[in-house]
Structure 1
Amino acid sequence: MDERRQRNRHATELQIEVFDVHSGQCLGRIVDLSMEGFMLLSELPLEADSVWECRLVPLTWVEGLEEIRLGADCLWTRTGEDTRKRWAGFHIIDIAEDQAIALEELLQFVRVG
């Protein structure tokens, strides 16, 4: 597989769920995360080449952080071994400066946690 990531993604034990801003529906749970994107495990039939406005919400308490808002493009999806679940890779395409700072702080927490 062609490796195009410029930064490493960080696997996390921290539970972070991703919600669609417009519907409020949970898209899935983050498996790994970087400043450029994330991979999640979902029970929804997400489609590649779809664009989402997302809220990343840590379910574990992280001081000073309730959510991070960003725009993301779903680049690919794959069915998991359990055919009810799907893996999906997202590229962050739009994030405000304050939200990028919050994401970097979350990544620092993930790296040490």
Structure 2
Amino acid sequence: MQSDTPRQALVTAVIDIFVSTIGFIPRDKVNEHTRFLTDFNIIDDDLTVFVLEVQKAFPLNAPREEWQVIETIGQIVDLIIRCREHPEDYPPQPPSRLKRTLASLKQKLSGT
């Protein structure tokens, strides 16, 4: 069983990225269970920048299918942990795949 300390450090880091990227959400209103698509009125451009910042901070090669099901800060942390623990399962993505992933997240946000 993994220690809560490294996981909590990741949660804190992702929350810090979320709060600094979005800009209008107080830090004390965000936790591991925050559903960034539904808990706050976030525009898709802000969500895109948040995802890009997470990917810059934690090099993630997760496929679009995994990003499509993410709704909470905790799920992003789980994805980071999976990518770190099993890098062989997450080969580098071509740039076009990242663009499709971001487009998919925007589509999910807009509800279409």
Q: Same fold (TM over 0.5)?
A: no
Normalized per residue, the structure richer in helix is 2
Normalized per residue, the structure richer in strand is 1
State the TM-score, normalized to the length of structure 1: 0.31
The higher-RCO structure (CA 8 Å, 6+ apart) is 2
